[in-house]
Structure 1
Amino acid sequence: MRLVRHPVLCNYYVTYRCNARCSFCDIWEKPSPYITLEDVERNLRDLKRLGVSVVDFTGGEPLLHRQIHEFVGLAHDMGFITTLTTNCLLYPKYAEKLRGKVDMLHFSLDSSEKEVHDKGRGVACYDFVLESIRVAKELGERPDILFTVFRENLADLEAVYRDIARPNGLVLILNPAFEYNTVETGEQLTTAELDYLSAFGKRKGVYLNEAFIQLRKDGGNHIAAPVCRAASTTLVISPSNELVLPCYHLGEQKFPIDGQLFNLYHSPEVGRLVALEGRLPQCEGCTINCYMQPSFAVEVNKYFWQALPSTLRYNLNKGTWKRMLVR
């Protein structure tokens, strides 16, 4: 049973440029412009009309955009729940400008060991994560630690939780790695490892969407009976001000927005692609968290019920449920 039939999330790519070279991502390889404030203002108004609740300002590294604080501030003032994930290289520089404007602020950290984390990120950013935690706490911010889980770093979860997340009172978000296009993330987690991750996700101060675990055990999305609702739940906007469908990672087609996002989304051309969500050949076996998370939230099925407890717990912790009430 479908509960919500309008998009709930916008993944807004402010630039594809990045100051890191993560081994599990290819975004930084793309040439890219930067979004403009004028386009952001127009698009946010249309996102509001479309029913979107959450705007994730992403990249690349979103803090490379010198106006990022203006974008999140505008969206926050308009009543959107704002999210932003950073590798922290630039956070200490922009922390004061971002203060109070990001509802869900995520600091990426994949190991408790400096050498291991920096090797995976392709740049020395571990020390910047620790410094960013210190700066954020001084400003009264409540960032989360976003831990992307691979087989290679699964054993390091305990140390990150014990030595970094808990002492600083931060939520540890477990983000199971996923493959897409030609990007490889190593061997997939075994059933036993998924069970370990699931148990870890039940600890105090840890957030794991349990439906991510079940989806992987089920072999991912299946085009014969898709669980993915990427195109109807999530709007992807590129740095070139294009609507990307059915999702960023497939990017089958790009439509220039030209200040007409609301009308474009309701156009026949976009409607045809939305109807194919989860059913394209490339969608078989997909486990991309960015689109599964909203997909689980709009349709009552087993994934909905598995995702619900952790989602409610996280939103209670962050206080974002209050912003939902005043929309």
Structure 2
Amino acid sequence: MRLVSHPVLCNYYVTYRCNASCGFCDIWEKPSPYITLESFRENLRDLKRLGVKVIDFTGGEPLLHRQLDVLLREAKAQGMITTVTSNGLLYPKQATKLRGLIDMLHFSLDSPDRDEHDTSRRVKCFDKVMESIEIARSLGERPDIIFTVFEDNVGKIRQLRDEICLPNDLVLILNPVFEYNGIGGSLSQEALTEMLWWGKQKNVYLNEAFVQLRLDGGNHVEDPVCKAASTTLVISPENKLVLPCYHLGLKDFAINGNLFELYHSDEVQKLVALEGRLPACEGCAINCYMQPSFAVEMNRYWWKALPSTIKYNRMKGTWKQMMRL
């Protein structure tokens, strides 16, 4: 049973540029402009008309955008829930002007070991994440730590939680790895089982539906769980609407100040109707599109996601915000 029929999330790529070059990501290789304030204002107007409640300002590294604070402030003024994920390199310098503008602030950290994390990111950013945590807490912010779980770092969850998250009262978000520019994932059943156990522990969040989907072999085109195109609008730095999702990216459409009309056009809606049903969608388990997919249709994944969703909102105290969805 479909609970919500309109888009709820916008993945707004403010730039593809990044100041890190992570081995599991290729977005930093792309040449990219930065979004303009003018186009953002036009799109924000239409995002609200379309029913979107959450804007994820993403990239690349979103803090590279020099007007990020302005973008966030305008989104907040329109009643949007804002999210930003950063590698921490630029946050210490920008923390003050970003204060109070990000509802869900995430710092990426893939290991409690400095050298291991920096090797993964191919830039020295571990110490900057630690500094960012300290500064954010001093400003009254409560960031989360996003831990991308690979087969070879699942054994570091305890150390990361105990040494970094618990002392700072931060939530550790377990993010099962997926093939960034492809389909599927590469975690064993043993690793998934260990993640499930950790997801029930103090100060740890894991959307259990992510694990269930992987155990089920991912999305299946004959009965798709993916609702990427109907739940999530992807806007590129070139001000284009990307469909059916960023990772598949079959087609993009120039927005030209008419996002609302464009989304409801026959050409776009034909692609929306194919969400989860295209040949390349078979086996897909990409978290950033499955999370909203689980939230809008009452099925086994909705029920799997519910306990962890309740837990996260209890830990973060975000009930009032989420009720607006």
Asked whether the two chains share a fold, i.e. TM above 0.5, the reply is yes
Residue type of the alignment partner of 1:61: E
Contact 1:25 1:183 in 2 (8 A): no
Displacement, 1:137? Answer: 0.6
Contact 1:87 1:125 in 2 (8 A): yes
Question: What is aligned with 1:34?
Answer: 34
Question: What is aligned with 1:162?
Answer: 162
Contact 2:228 2:276 in 1 (8 A): yes
Question: What is aligned with 2:194?
Answer: 196
Q: Given the superposition, is the C-alpha separation of residues 66 and 230 from structure 1 closer, same or farther in structure 2, using an over 3 Å criterion? A: same
Contact 2:56 2:82 in 1 (8 A): yes
Displacement, 1:78? Answer: 1.1
Structure 1 Cα separation of the partners of residues 61 and 295 of structure 2: 27
Structure 1 Cα separation of the partners of residues 38 and 141 of structure 2: 28
- The 5-angstrom pairing of residues 90-109 of structure 1 reads 90-109=90-109
Q: Given the superposition, is the C-alpha separation of residues 274 and 58 from structure 1 closer, same or farther in structure 2, using an over 3 Å criterion? A: same
Given the alignment of the two structures, is residue 215 of structure 1 paired with residue 213 of structure 2, yes or no? Answer: yes
Contact 1:2 1:300 in 2 (8 A): yes
Cα distance per residue 1:178-234 (max 9 Å; x no partner): 01436997xx22212211100100011111000000000001001111100000000
Structure 1 Cα separation of the partners of residues 91 and 52 of structure 2: 27
Displacement, 1:239? Answer: 0.4
- The 5-angstrom pairing of residues 120-139 of structure 1 reads 120-139=120-139
Displacement, 1:45? Answer: 1.1
Contact 1:104 1:318 in 2 (8 A): no
Question: What is aligned with 1:83?
Answer: 83
Q: Given the superposition, is the C-alpha separation of residues 144 and 93 from structure 1 closer, same or farther in structure 2, using an over 3 Å criterion? A: same
Displacement, 1:310? Answer: 1.1
Question: What is aligned with 1:243?
Answer: 241
**RMSD, matched Cα:** 1.3
In structure 2, list runs of 5 or more residues that go unmatched. none
Contact 2:183 2:283 in 1 (8 A): no
Structure 1 Cα separation of the partners of residues 208 and 46 of structure 2: 32
Q: TM-score, normalised by structure 1?
A: 0.97
Q: TM-score, normalised by structure 2?
A: 0.97
Structure 1 Cα separation of the partners of residues 146 and 110 of structure 2: 8
Structure 2 Cα separation of the partners of residues 182 and 119 of structure 1: 23
Residue type of the alignment partner of 2:55: V
Question: What is aligned with 1:285?
Answer: 283
Given the alignment of the two structures, is residue 116 of structure 1 paired with residue 83 of structure 2, yes or no? Answer: no
Contact 2:221 2:276 in 1 (8 A): yes
Contact 2:182 2:247 in 1 (8 A): no
Structure 2 Cα separation of the partners of residues 90 and 33 of structure 1: 19
Structure 1 Cα separation of the partners of residues 214 and 322 of structure 2: 30
- The 5-angstrom pairing of residues 8-87 of structure 1 reads 8-87=8-87
Q: How many residues align?
A: 325
Question: What is aligned with 1:297?
Answer: 295
% of aligned pairs identical? 66
Displacement, 1:68? Answer: 0.6
Deviation >2 Å, runs of 4+: 180-185, 315-321, 323-327
Residue type of the alignment partner of 1:64: L
Cα distance per residue 1:1-47 (max 9 Å; x no partner): 11110000000000000000001101001000000111111111111
In structure 1, list runs of 5 or more residues that go unmatched. none
Q: Given the superposition, is the C-alpha separation of residues 293 and 323 from structure 1 closer, same or farther in structure 2, using an over 3 Å criterion? A: same
